Amino acid sequence: MSDLKHHIATAFDRDLEGIQAQILKMGGLVEAAIHDSAKSLETRDEELAEQVRKGDLAIDEMEESLNEEAARVIALRQPAASDLRVVLSVMRMSANLERIGDLSKNMAKRTTVLAQMTQINGSTTALRRMARDVEMMLKDALDAYIKRDEALARDVIERDADVDQMYNTLFREFLTFMLEDPRNITSCMHLHFIAKNIERMGDHVTAIAEQVIFLASGEKPEGVRVKEDRTSSDPALSADL
């Protein structure tokens, strides 16, 4: 009986390892998508942007197969509560990764449009810096997941506040550019969409880090779960300019 139990535990562990390897691979593709889409934006590299757009299909397919594999493992191995929690967290994480992939694809699409327009000084460099921060956060969140490193996960969540701050600064900058010269409006709207997309990527990375904390400690981190879009009540935006 003890032997049988051991055998069952091992089979589940092997399955789980497979799933975890898959989520890391998916994470790697998503990190590259963030990196390449931001780079294509700054360097106006339409070919690279096209690669990101096409590459998103592979990310979507990985989410599908991860979900199928996770459901198969649950049905087949019937894991105990704590093991079940790990498998369910992987399903949630893959959904977050898939969304980050989508947001990168959307950024890459705007590269193609923005490449035709007058550049707004320095803005794509600032966006790329913001994207790099999110990329590093994702890398650390995945490391924290593998090591069940709660401290690192909390660090990732704290860094998301900086990304939010960058977004708010850029939002105000774009508004200023639009007010200065209405010919900037179209490109600033696109740039603003990109900034918002990167900010949302940060939220998805935060959600992944929260899963890590939940797995490591069994507790949901308080007060970080519901993300706020600060522009919705920013006093600087409530003045009738």
Q: Which is nearer to its own copies, 98 or 149 (CB)?
A: 98
Tell me whether residue 34 or residue 140 sits nearer to its own copies (CB atom).
Answer: 34
From first CA to last CA, the distance across the chain in angstroms is: 75
Minimum CB–partner distance for residue 178 and its own copies (Å): 5
State the nearest-atom distance from the C-beta of 136 to its own copies, in Å. 25
Q: Which is nearer to its own copies, 40 or 187 (CB)?
A: 187
In angstroms, give the least distance from the CB of 181 to its own copies. 9
- Residue 114 beta carbon to its own copies: minimum distance, rounded to whole angstroms: 9
Min dist CB 67 to its own copies, Å, is 8
**CB within 8 A of 93, min separation 6: which ones?**
23, 145, 208, 211
Taking the CA atoms of residue 60, residue 102, residue 20 and residue 15 in that order, the dihedral angle to the nearest 10 degrees is: -20
CB of 227 to its own copies, least distance (A): 8
Specify the residue, 1 or 81, whose C-beta has the smaller distance to its own copies: 81
Report long-range pairs for 164-169 (Cβ below 8 Å, ≥24 apart). Answer: 164/199, 164/202, 164/230, 166/126, 166/129, 166/130, 166/133, 166/195, 166/199, 167/130, 167/195, 167/196, 167/198, 167/199, 168/230, 168/231, 168/234
Of 102 and 135, nearer to its own copies (C-beta) is 102
Footprint of its own copies (CB under 8 A): 56, 60, 64, 71, 74-75, 78-81, 84-85, 88, 91-92, 95, 102, 106, 109-110, 112-113, 116-118, 175, 178-179, 182-183, 185-187, 189-190, 192-193, 220, 225-227, 229, 231-234, 237-241
Q: Which is nearer to its own copies, 97 or 149 (CB)?
A: 97
